[in-house]
Chains A and B, each alone.
Chain A
Amino acid sequence: MATTSLRPCGDYRSSYRADQTLFDTRLSMLFCAGGVVLLLFAPFVLSGYVLSLMIQIGYLGIAALGLNILVGFSGQISIGHAVFYGFGGFASCYLSHKGVPVPLAIVLAGLWTTAVGLLFGLPAARVKGLYLAIATLAAQFILQDFFVRATWFTGGTSGAVAEPFTLFGFDMSGDHRYFYVVLFFFVVLYLGAANLMRSRDGRALVAVRDHYLSAEMMGVNLTKYRTMAFGISSFYAGIAGALYAHYIGYMSVEGLDILFSIQFLAMIIIGGLGSVMGSLLGTIFMVLLPELTGALAGALQGSAIDKALHLKDGITYMREMLIGAVIILFLIFEPDGLAHRWRQIKAYWKLYPFSY
């Protein structure tokens, strides 16, 4: 039975195919497709600044999704995500310097990062919980040190220059053009993850997270899937890092510290662990929050409150404090993240106005 309402009040699907679609209603599919089409026109309308924010959301969102596959879906922890992101950036700089076309370099950088991720993921099959957290912390420090010392690869402390992104001789750098590059990778990688989660290996990952003993009894090879989660997660991080490097045109060791790794964790916790869409929501939140608090601080500057409390320079620190406060509030009031809130809104509308 075809339905025209926004949210059908029951289950009217009549084929297994319709029951296993990516989007639960036709409308949400149209919304997403329409959204992507609208985004195609964004560079014609929006300012460079807004576009740069969206590009940021794009590549950080890809990295966050990678971490969510590892932490949210397969139930392992990683506090070294930033270095895989960094490795992808450096690898792409290195490859593009050697004459590899940039689009190919980005994909290859993703694969190289996968190899590194698998290497560090191998102990993952053996340790769990806090021990795994420490093992990934080791990855964070080892690779960070490697970036500083391996001057042939990263340029050491002075960093590496990334070639501009060109496609068939056409220069794609600059906010207005690079936007399309990020959008392409974003759509492909998000669709890929959503598909993965409704097929065999995605289910196996979640099964390992929820009950590894019975997953094993169902024929799931625990070692394989735990390691695989690290591989996939690093691939996403690597691509994201490479996209970042070619956007900025430069990759530096600075900023790839543990705080950045924790920021990725914050994104997926706020967005919703184990939710593909949550990864995006969390990233949007984390990218826009500094904007919001920055604006707030700007408004306070020189106001009566500022003078009364003698805030002066303290006003810039308010921004950082607010981010911290918001994360704590999320952990207390919405531990399942924004994705959960969104699901509840949808559930409410399902039977509107008769939802008793």
Chain B
Amino acid sequence: MGGEPSGVAAGATLLDVRDVSLRFGGLRALSEVSFSVEKGELFSIIGPNGAGKTSLLNCISGRYSPSEGRIGFEGRDITRLKPNKRAAIGIGRTFQNLALFHHMSVLDNIMVGRHHLLKNNFLTGALYWIGGAQKEELEHRRKVEDVIDFLDIQHVRKATAGTLSYGLRKRVELARAVALEPKLILLDEPMAGMNLEEKEDMARYIVDLNEEWGMTIIMIEHDMGVVMDISHRVMVLDFGRRIAHGQPAEVLADPHVRKAYLGEEDVEDPFEQEAPAATPGAAVRQLSA
């Protein structure tokens, strides 16, 4: 894969991040980061630990408010929009450290994802049979079951989320974000801590979400093999700055990236032994190991 976005009609800008800086007191987490993501794109953000990747995602999802710069979504300025309003405009996300509702069933977890799509309130909810809450709940249950089918978690739908294994929890979290019906989905290390098989499954889900469900995806991931294989474009952050950005093969060949990951030039360079353009995945897999 790689190359041009192959999902829905590509070309229109969905997310536009302009000169975003984020400061915590004296610490600069992000410095004038700019990039834009087009509709239907699978965009990856990589970088060493502490580079500001998650901070950037938090700015987009509204947890942090950037100190400077602006964030536009579908042409609208959302820099100061409250986080709970961003679900309604179509931004969903998963978290790096699992953030499921531990005491709820998997089903209820995913149903919370549809919160902004449901209309019943505490009064109609309490009356349930009168006032249409039941009808609405059942309609949405059907939609949730589609997501459950897609992510293959039928067998745990009644289980309490906190009792699941790590890999399953990650999948449930993805399901919850997908149930939101977002236009843009932010994935923070969806494959961290997974074994090879689980990673392959997860990569397949992500590609399907992008190609079949038509969702635009921004992904932070440390597994370079996966990143290089499935992303359309990649951005590299280091110390809160954008150091490279472009197609996977270009980014891989970028001297700044090599420096960020490997240190100075005099270090033994694995790229000289292997042609990066031919097998990009393999090359960087070695590098990240």
Residue A346 is within 8 A (CB to CB) of chain B in the complex: no
Residue B23 is within 8 A (CB to CB) of chain A in the complex: no
The reply to whether A196 and B176 form a contact with Cβ atoms under 8 Å apart is no
Residue B121 is within 8 A (CB to CB) of chain A in the complex: yes
Q: In the complex, what's the smallest C-beta–C-beta distance from B141 to chain A, in angstroms?
A: 5
Cα distance A16–B139 in the bound complex, in angstroms: 9
> Which residues of chain A have C-beta atoms less than 8 A from B176's C-beta?
218
Q: Interface 1/0s, chain B 88-111, versus A by CB < 8 A?
A: 100011010001111110001001
Q: Which of B93, B104, B124, B127 lies in contact with A206, CB distance below 8 A?
A: B104
Residue A200 is within 8 A (CB to CB) of chain B in the complex: yes
The reply to whether A219 and B99 form a contact with Cβ atoms under 8 Å apart is no
The reply to whether A206 and B122 form a contact with Cβ atoms under 8 Å apart is no
Cα distance A266–B264 in the bound complex, in angstroms: 64
The reply to whether B180 and A218 form a contact with Cβ atoms under 8 Å apart is yes
Cα distance A99–B66 in the bound complex, in angstroms: 59
The reply to whether A219 and B115 form a contact with Cβ atoms under 8 Å apart is yes
The reply to whether B113 and A211 form a contact with Cβ atoms under 8 Å apart is no
Q: Which residue of A lies closest to B63 (CB)?
A: A213
> Which residues of chain B have C-beta atoms less than 8 A from A195's C-beta?
125-128, 133
Interface residues in A72-99 (C-beta closer than 8 Å to B): none
Residue B76 is within 8 A (CB to CB) of chain A in the complex: no
Q: Find the residue from A20, A199, A202, A209 having the highest chain B CB count within 10 A.
A: A199
> Which residues of chain B have C-beta atoms less than 8 A from A216's C-beta?
83-84
The reply to whether A217 and B87 form a contact with Cβ atoms under 8 Å apart is yes
> Which residues of chain B have C-beta atoms less than 8 A from A214's C-beta?
95, 99-101
> Which residues of chain B have C-beta atoms less than 8 A from A139's C-beta?
none
Cα distance A272–B272 in the bound complex, in angstroms: 64
Q: In the complex, what's the smallest C-beta–C-beta distance from A78 to chain B, in angstroms?
A: 18
Cα distance A210–B161 in the bound complex, in angstroms: 11
> Which residues of chain B have C-beta atoms less than 8 A from A200's C-beta?
115, 118-121, 125, 133, 137
The reply to whether B101 and A207 form a contact with Cβ atoms under 8 Å apart is yes
Q: Which residue of B lies closest to A229 (CB)?
A: B122
Q: Which residue of B lies closest to A199 (CB)?
A: B125
The reply to whether A211 and B99 form a contact with Cβ atoms under 8 Å apart is yes
Q: Which residue of A lies closest to B125 (CB)?
A: A199
The reply to whether B104 and A210 form a contact with Cβ atoms under 8 Å apart is yes
Q: In the complex, what's the smallest C-beta–C-beta distance from B154 to chain A, in angstroms?
A: 11
Cα distance A96–B128 in the bound complex, in angstroms: 31
The reply to whether A192 and B127 form a contact with Cβ atoms under 8 Å apart is yes
Tally chain A residues at the interface, Cβ within 8 Å.
34
The reply to whether A218 and B87 form a contact with Cβ atoms under 8 Å apart is yes
Residue A105 is within 8 A (CB to CB) of chain B in the complex: no
The reply to whether A203 and B111 form a contact with Cβ atoms under 8 Å apart is yes
Q: Which residue of A lies closest to B104 (CB)?
A: A206
Q: Which of B84, B103, B142 lies in contact with A274, CB distance below 8 A?
A: B103
Residue A232 is within 8 A (CB to CB) of chain B in the complex: yes
* Given A203-B104, A206-B101, A218 and B113 contact (CB-CB distance below 8 Å): yes
The reply to whether A219 and B84 form a contact with Cβ atoms under 8 Å apart is yes
The reply to whether A211 and B100 form a contact with Cβ atoms under 8 Å apart is yes
Q: Which residue of B lies closest to A206 (CB)?
A: B104
* Given A11-B158, A196-B125, A198-B128, A206 and B120 contact (CB-CB distance below 8 Å): no
Q: In the complex, what's the smallest C-beta–C-beta distance from B24 to chain A, in angstroms?
A: 17
* Given A11-B158, A217-B61, A211 and B101 contact (CB-CB distance below 8 Å): yes
The reply to whether A213 and B99 form a contact with Cβ atoms under 8 Å apart is yes
Residue B153 is within 8 A (CB to CB) of chain A in the complex: no
Q: Which residue of A lies closest to B138 (CB)?
A: A16
> Which residues of chain A have C-beta atoms less than 8 A from B80's C-beta?
none
Residue A268 is within 8 A (CB to CB) of chain B in the complex: no
Residue A215 is within 8 A (CB to CB) of chain B in the complex: yes
Cα distance A210–B104 in the bound complex, in angstroms: 8
Cα distance A215–B65 in the bound complex, in angstroms: 18
Residue A204 is within 8 A (CB to CB) of chain B in the complex: yes
The reply to whether A221 and B84 form a contact with Cβ atoms under 8 Å apart is yes
Cα distance A302–B86 in the bound complex, in angstroms: 72
Residue B116 is within 8 A (CB to CB) of chain A in the complex: yes
The reply to whether B103 and A210 form a contact with Cβ atoms under 8 Å apart is yes
Residue B112 is within 8 A (CB to CB) of chain A in the complex: yes
Q: Which residue of B lies closest to A222 (CB)?
A: B84
Q: Which residue of B lies closest to A210 (CB)?
A: B101
Residue A134 is within 8 A (CB to CB) of chain B in the complex: no
Q: Which of A199, A217, A219 lies in contact with B137, CB distance below 8 A?
A: A199
> Which residues of chain A have C-beta atoms less than 8 A from B112's C-beta?
203-204, 207, 215, 218, 220
Cα distance A76–B137 in the bound complex, in angstroms: 26
The reply to whether B122 and A201 form a contact with Cβ atoms under 8 Å apart is yes
Residue A318 is within 8 A (CB to CB) of chain B in the complex: no
Cα distance A228–B123 in the bound complex, in angstroms: 12
> Which residues of chain A have C-beta atoms less than 8 A from B83's C-beta?
216-217
The reply to whether B115 and A211 form a contact with Cβ atoms under 8 Å apart is no
Cα distance A217–B113 in the bound complex, in angstroms: 9
The reply to whether A192 and B126 form a contact with Cβ atoms under 8 Å apart is yes
> Which residues of chain A have C-beta atoms less than 8 A from B62's C-beta?
217
Q: Find the residue from A198, A201, A228 having the highest chain B CB count within 10 A.
A: A201
> Which residues of chain A have C-beta atoms less than 8 A from B138's C-beta?
16-17, 20
Q: Which of B86, B101, B120, B145 lies in contact with A199, CB distance below 8 A?
A: B120
Cα distance A196–B141 in the bound complex, in angstroms: 16
Q: Which residue of A lies closest to B139 (CB)?
A: A16
A–B pairs, 16, beta carbons within 8 Å: A16-B138, A16-B145, A17-B138, A198-B128, A203-B104, A206-B108, A207-B115, A211-B100, A213-B95, A214-B95, A217-B83, A217-B87, A218-B112, A218-B115, A219-B87, A228-B122
**Given A196-B126, A213-B63, A218-B112, 18 more contacts at CB 8 Å?**
A20-B138, A195-B127, A195-B133, A200-B115, A200-B125, A203-B111, A204-B115, A206-B101, A207-B112, A210-B102, A214-B99, A216-B83, A217-B61, A217-B62, A219-B88, A219-B180, A222-B84, A274-B103
Counting from the closest, the 6 A-B pairs by CB-CB distance are A219-B87, A199-B125, A219-B116, A210-B101, A195-B128, A214-B99
